[in-house]
Amino acid sequence: MVRSLSRRGLLAGTAAAIAAPALAQSFPNRPITMVVPFAAGGSTDVVARIIAQKMSEGLGQQVVVENVAGAGGNVGAARVAKGEPDGYQILMGTVATHALNPLMLKRKPYDPATDFAPISLLAIVPNVLIVNPSLPAKTVPELIGLLKANPGKYNYASSGLGTPLHLSGELFKSLAKVEMQHIAYRGSGPALNDVVAGVVPIQFDNLPSASAFIQAGTLRALGVTTKERAASFPDVPTIAEALPGYETYTWNALFAPKGTPKEIVDRLNAEAVKAVKDPAVGERMKVFSAAVVGSTPEALAEHVRAEIAKWTPVVKEAGVSID
C-alpha cells in the first residue's frame, strides 16, 4: 500500500513537472487582457498602451488594454486579484493600487502583497513640488523656512484626497516638520489652474502634467520627488537634496493573479522587460519624464513591501481613511 501510494505520488509529481513547461510553451494561445484600473487618457493608461503594443509583438498574441476604473483603482485591481491564474488577465498596478489604497480603505478588497503574482516594475514617474511664482520661496530650504515662520498660513493643493500627490505633501510635512493645510481637488487640472491663479500657492503634482506650466514660467518648480533629478528638467534639484530621506513617485508595474504558474510569470516578465528596454519605447516614455526599470518578479515583490512600509506611518499620521 505504501509502495503504491509513493509510486502514485511520484507519477503525479512527474506529470505536474512535465505539464508546467508544456503549459508555458503553449502560452499564450489567445489574446491577453491588460487591465488598467483607471480611466483612459491618464499616465497609467498611456504607459499600458505603449507596453501592451510592444509585448504583443514578442508574445505573438494581442495584449488588449481594458480600462476598469472605479474606487481609485480598486475595482480593476480586485478583478484581477480574483481572476483565473492563467496569465490571460494581468494588471497594470500603481502605488495607489498596491500601497496607498489598501492602507486607507476600511474594507480591503484584496491584499496587495499576497493576492498577486508580481511580474515586473516597469517605470517610475517623478512628482514635483511647484509653487506660484509670487510665493517668496525659490528653493526647498526657503519654502521650509517660510512655512516654519508662518505655521498654518499656507495651503497646498493636490489632485485629490488620498492620492499619491496628497500623501507626497504629507510626507513633506512630516520630514520637514512644517504645517500646511491640504486642499483636495477633483483632478490635477483644476488644482494647477488655481495654483497658477494664486488661489493656492503650493502644489504636488505629476511632473508630466506640470511640465508645460514650468516651461512657460507660470509655475516655479522647487524640487522633484525622486532620488535622482529628472532628465527632462536637469536643473530642478531633488527635494531630497534639501530634505534627506524624502522620496515619492508614481510607478507602474505588472501583476498577475496569485497562483499563476512561474513559467508563465517568467514569460510575461521576459516580454515586459524586453518592451521597456526597447529604444523606441524608451523615447516615448521620456516624453512624460518616465524612467524605465524592467525588474525581476522578486524585485517587484520587494518594492511593494518597501512601499507599504514607507507609506504606513504617513497614512496613519495624516489620518486618511476611506469607506
Residue labelled with grid coordinates 488588449: 64
Domain identity same for 144 and 95: no
The whole-model pTM stands at 0.81
- 211 DSSP 8-state letter: H
Residue with more model confidence, 190 or 288: 190
The CATH number assigned to the domain holding 164 equals 3.40.190.10
Q: Indicate the residue among 185, 207, 241 that finishes a domain.
A: 241
The pLDDT, as a whole number, for residue 322 is 78
Question: 6 in a domain, yes or no?
Answer: no
Residue type for 60, please?
Answer: G
Nearest-5° Cα angle at 312, 307 to 315: 115
**C-alpha span between 234 and 272 (Å, rounded):** 28
Strand partners of residue 131 = 202, 220
Domain identity same for 133 and 176: yes
Q: Which of 293, 241, 248 is nearest to 269 (CA)?
A: 293
Is residue 124 within 8 A of residue 293, CB to CB? The reply is yes
Question: 18 in a domain, yes or no?
Answer: no
Q: Indicate the residue among 219, 241, 263 that finishes a domain.
A: 241
Q: Mean pLDDT, to the nearest integer, of 183-189? A: 87
Domain identity same for 277 and 291: yes
**C-alpha span between 176 and 153 (Å, rounded):** 16
Domain identity same for 266 and 201: no
Residue type for 303, please?
Answer: H
Q: Rounded to whole angstroms, what are the CA distances from 35 to 90, 111, 255? A: 6, 17, 10
The pLDDT, as a whole number, for residue 289 is 81
Is residue 319 within 8 A of residue 102, CB to CB? The reply is no
Question: 3 in a domain, yes or no?
Answer: no
Residue labelled with grid coordinates 511593494: 304
Q: What does the pLDDT look like over 97-141, one tens digit per residue? A: 999 999 998 888 999 999 999 999 999 989 999 999 999 999 999
**C-alpha span between 236 and 229 (Å, rounded):** 7
Question: 22 in a domain, yes or no?
Answer: no
Kindly report the average pLDDT of the chain as a whole number. Answer: 90
Nearest-5° Cα angle at 231, 229 to 232: 115
The pLDDT, as a whole number, for residue 15 is 47
Domain identity same for 115 and 179: no
The CATH number assigned to the domain holding 42 equals 3.40.190.150
Phi-psi group of 120: left, alpha or beta (phi > 0 → left; psi -120 to 50 → alpha; rest → beta):
beta
The pLDDT, as a whole number, for residue 21 is 59
Domain identity same for 80 and 42: yes
Domain identity same for 237 and 131: yes
Domain identity same for 149 and 178: yes
Query: In the chain, what percentage of residues exceed pLDDT 70?
Result: 92
Q: Which of 78, 26, 135 is nearest to 255 (CA)?
A: 78
pLDDT band at 186 (very low <50, low <70, confident <90, very high): confident
The pLDDT, as a whole number, for residue 23 is 60
Domain identity same for 228 and 269: no
Question: 98 in a domain, yes or no?
Answer: yes
Rounded to a whole number of angstroms, the distance between the first and last alpha carbons of the chain is 56
**C-alpha span between 254 and 11 (Å, rounded):** 35
Task: Identify the weakest region by mean pLDDT among 15-19, 33-37, 75-79, 181-185.
Answer: 15-19
Backbone angles phi, psi at 94, to 5 degrees: -140, 180
Q: Is pLDDT of 303 > 60? A: yes
Overall domain count for the chain: 2
Q: Mean pLDDT, to the nearest integer, of 229-255? A: 94
pLDDT band at 196 (very low <50, low <70, confident <90, very high): very high
Domain that holds residue 277: 29-124+250-318
The pLDDT, as a whole number, for residue 10 is 55
| 92 SS3 class | strand
Residue with more model confidence, 279 or 188: 279
Q: What does the pLDDT look like over 1-59, one tens digit per residue? A: 444 444 555 554 454 455 555 566 789 999 999 999 988 877 788 899 999 999 999 99
Question: 303 in a domain, yes or no?
Answer: yes
**C-alpha span between 169 and 5 (Å, rounded):** 61
Is residue 222 within 8 A of residue 139, CB to CB? The reply is yes
Q: What does the pLDDT look like over 129-177, one tens digit per residue? A: 999 999 999 999 999 999 999 998 999 999 888 888 999 999 999 999 9
Task: Identify the weakest region by mean pLDDT among 198-202, 237-241, 309-313.
Answer: 309-313
Q: Indicate the residue among 222, 241, 260 that finishes a domain.
A: 241
